[in-house]
Amino acid sequence: MKRAFLFPGQGAQCVGMGKDIYEKYEEAKKIYEKASEITGKDITKLCFEGPEEELNKTENTQIAMLTTSLAILEVLKSKGIHADITTGLSLGEYGALIYAGIISLEDGIRLVQKRGYYMGNMIPKEEYAMAAVIGLDSKIIEKICEEISKEGKFVVPANYNCQVQTAISGEAEAIDEAIEKLKEAGAKKVVKLKTGGPFHTIKLEQAKQAYKKELEKVKFNFNTQVKVIKNIDGNYYNSTDNMVEILANHIVSPVRFDKAIQLMQEEKVDEYIEIGPGKVLTGFIKKENRESKTYNINDMESLENFCNIEVSYI
């Protein structure tokens, strides 16, 4: 049986995430404590108490999401549950790289804290927004974005989530214009997202350059049996990859989760397990193939239910 671990990105966070798992499992508790020690922030308070406004700040969201996912992952590992393939969405890619051992736990936590800070604070002063476009071919979305951009406005595809959903990012006014045009072009639905920064666009070039300096301090290890799919092109990482360039460019390049799904389907993955808050990634998987076997592990109930299924299966 071939299994994939999926790690969610920004937007799925919620106050209270991971609290029941932290309280029961020592393995999870140690991850939260380690993250708090490395970052100098009280990550448990941030995750469990918020407030929501504070948790939703990009500089806090990214490290809080990663810590919660890693805490759940640690419990799964302690129960002998592993995966052959792993990937994530945007910051979720770091959960995948840590699981595979390409990045150490300590370096991963440090990097994501810096990444969140730069992405949250090194952005132009204009007002930005993001929107999810559902039920419209990505080529049409690209064309509409190009047409609006020719008028001197800024809007581009930022997340290719799956064949039927693409997220766009840009100036708030340009997003509003794009929403109307995308609906006219036949989009089933267009939804504004909670995330407001111009993520995965050239507007974060300054953040990319600052983050690149952090990446240059890290040692990457490819002595792993786990295959990791990268967001930037939907292919596997390999030992010849320039990790500094790839992870720096990740900040300003579109996420190609659609290609990651395609690769996992070609690999004939049997089980997709989303580790962390929300059900976004398994939702994308289901949109591509309703018959896919998916699980979401985001609280005590879902964790124990999955572990019981595994015991029964064994």
* DSSP character string of 61-77: HHHHHHHHHHHHHHHHH
Domains of the chain (ranges, CATH numbers): 3-122+202-313 (3.40.366.10), 128-192 (3.30.70.250)
The catalytic position among 90, 138, 169, 253 is 90
Supply the pLDDT for residue 196: 66
Is there a catalytic annotation at residue 78? no
Amino acid found at 279: K
Query: Which tens digits make up the pLDDT trace of 161-220?
Result: 999 999 999 999 999 999 999 999 999 999 998 766 899 999 999 999 999 999 999 999
What percentage of the chain carries pLDDT values higher than 70?
98
Would you say 152 and 126 are in contact if contact means Cβ atoms under 8 Å apart?
Answer: no
What is the average pLDDT score of the chain?
A: 95
Instruction: Answer whether residue 125 shows pLDDT above 70.
Output: yes
In degrees and rounded to multiples of 5, residue 83 shows phi and psi of: -130, 155
Rounded distance, CA 208 to CA 82, Å?
Answer: 32
Dihedral angle of Cα 229, 232, 233, 237, to the nearest 10 degrees: -40
Q: What is the mean pLDDT of residues 80-108?
A: 98
Query: Which tens digits make up the pLDDT trace of 244-300?
Result: 999 999 999 999 999 999 999 999 999 999 999 999 999 999 999 999 999 999 999
Q: Which residue has 């290719």 as its token pair? A: 160
The catalytic position among 69, 200, 250, 253 is 200
Farthest CA pair distance, the chain:
60
Instruction: Answer whether residue 141 shows pLDDT above 80.
Output: yes
Supply the pLDDT for residue 314: 40
Is there a catalytic annotation at residue 200? yes
